[in-house]
């Protein structure tokens, strides 16, 4: 699913990063952090929701996760500092982020994602919007939504303006998101909250006529101290996104109707908990049997490898725990910092 939530978040950050002037007062140190629940309550009806404790993720977890590759950590910090110097916007000052995504099948083996992102933190929303407008260099239009103004930025036109300055970076963004042809809307929701995403989804959020269903929100916030929470209704035809020769595996994937879970980083450990929900317990049993079988194959395939990264993957497969409760199959996986260091250390 090429145009995914990752793409929407990338575009949201990119729209801010296109701003070129320095705004020394772009942040407000008195802004209060909003909870993830407050931001989710702002989102319109969605097929998937994800929340992030952005403050802890960037300020604490990421430096720890990248500790095994100081060069890479330095590059990440340099990118954040470069953005701050150009725009006055420090992404590390965003406390909480929530995103709502709708999935749409646009071809036989292709789904598109239509997303809206809400970010709140120790920032001055008006200054952030001003930076985005200046960076767009006139390649935007305005429309009113009640008392708020939506700024619709032509990412394709802005990208053309910046191509001469840094074509490699723009090409990379284009390949990653595949969404530069789309316009992006941004607006200040309140003094410390920014909304960005597709034009239609931003309009939908501001109209406030629909909300995320309890079917999804009920699965968020179940893990204390989670950095990321997610819940999604799985679109029909999921198996078409993955080339599968095994009909049984494809049938089990198609039986999944919902996925939810969380990620944590605590001390010297990162953990992932994810649950797949099917319509019938029998389908969940079949899914677990398939996963157990794949786990056995993976251990046999990687167990004898001498390569450090393959050994880490083998341990991850070994440590993965699958359990079934009724029509749900859950995965619990923990990865120690020592193994994270091996994998991160191999990134150039």
Question: What 8-state DSSP symbol labels residue 213?
Answer: -
**Residue 173 pLDDT > 60, yes or no?**
no
Coil, helix or strand for 141?
strand
- pLDDT tens-digit map of 59-87: 888 888 888 889 988 988 888 887 666 55
- Outline where 4-96 has alpha helix (H): 5-17, 36-40, 54-56, 62-65, 70-87
Per-position b or e across 59-83, b if 16+ CB within 10 A of its CB? eebbebbbebbeeebeeeeeebeeb
- pLDDT tens-digit map of 123-162: 888 888 887 777 677 778 899 999 999 999 877 666 666 5
pLDDT score of 85: 63
List Cα–Cα distances, 237 to 106, 234, 255, 287, in angstroms: 12, 9, 10, 16
Maximum alpha-carbon separation in the chain: 64
- pLDDT tens-digit map of 260-290: 999 999 878 899 999 999 999 999 999 999 8
Give the DSSP H or E segment for 249.
Answer: helix 247-254
Give CA angle at 262 (260, 263), nearest 5°: 150
Six-digit token pair at 312?
Answer: 């880490």
Map tokens 């990620």 to a residue.
263
Query: Do the beta carbons of residue 197 and residue 119 sit within 8 Å?
Result: no
pLDDT score of 163: 56
List Cα–Cα distances, 133 to 33, 73, 147, 161, in angstroms: 25, 30, 19, 14
**Residue 248 pLDDT > 80, yes or no?**
no
**Residue 15 pLDDT > 60, yes or no?**
no
pTM of the model: 0.80
Map tokens 């029509």 to a residue.
327
Nearest to 281 by CA among 325, 323, 324, 327: 327
**Residue 41 pLDDT > 80, yes or no?**
yes
**Residue 43 pLDDT > 90, yes or no?**
yes
pLDDT score of 184: 85
Query: Do the beta carbons of residue 139 and residue 219 sit within 8 Å?
Result: no
Delimit the domains of the chain by residue range.
5-207, 234-345
Nearest to 346 by CA among 297, 315, 313: 313
pLDDT score of 153: 84
Nearest to 121 by CA among 91, 77, 76, 161: 91
């Amino acid at each position: 699913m090429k145009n995914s939530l990752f793409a929407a978040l990338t575009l949201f950050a990119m729209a801010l990063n296109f701003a070129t002037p320095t705004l020394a007062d772009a942040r407000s140190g008195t802004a209060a952090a909003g909870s993830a629940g407050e931001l989710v309550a702002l989102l319109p009806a969605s097929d998937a929701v994800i929340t992030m404790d952005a403050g802890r993720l960037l300020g604490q977890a990421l430096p720890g996760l990248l500790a095994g590759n100081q060069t890479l950590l330095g590059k990440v910090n340099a990118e954040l500092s470069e953005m701050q110097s150009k725009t006055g916007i420090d992404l590390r000052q965003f406390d909480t982020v929530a995103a709502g995504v709708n999935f749409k099948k646009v071809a036989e083996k292709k789904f598109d994602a239509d997303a809206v992102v809400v970010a709140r933190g120790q920032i001055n929303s008006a200054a952030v919007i001003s930076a985005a407008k200046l960076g767009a260099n006139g390649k935007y239009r305005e429309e009113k939504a009640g008392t708020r103004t939506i700024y619709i930025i032509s990412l394709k036109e802005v990208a053309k303006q910046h191509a001469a300055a840094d074509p490699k970076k723009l090409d990379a963004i284009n390949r990653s998101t595949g969404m530069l042809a789309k316009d992006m809307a941004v607006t200040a929701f309140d003094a410390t909250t920014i909304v960005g995403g597709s034009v239609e989804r931003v309009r939908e959020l501001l109209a406030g006529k629909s909300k995320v269903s309890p079917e999804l929100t009920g699965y968020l916030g179940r893990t204390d101290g989670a950095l990321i929470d997610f819940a999604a209704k799985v679109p029909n035809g999921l198996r078409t996104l993955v080339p599968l020769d095994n009909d049984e595996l494809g049938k089990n994937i198609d039986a999944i109707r919902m996925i939810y879970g969380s990620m944590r980083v605590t001390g010297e450990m990162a953990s992932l908990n994810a649950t797949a929900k099917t319509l019938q317990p029998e389908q969940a049993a079949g899914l677990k049997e398939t996963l157990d079988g794949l786990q056995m194959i993976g251990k046999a395939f990687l167990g004898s490898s001498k390569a450090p990264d393959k050994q880490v993957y083998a341990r991850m497969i070994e440590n993965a725990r699958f359990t079934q409760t009724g029509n749900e199959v859950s995965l619990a996986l923990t990865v120690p910092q020592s193994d994270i260091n091996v994998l991160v250390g191999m990134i150039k």
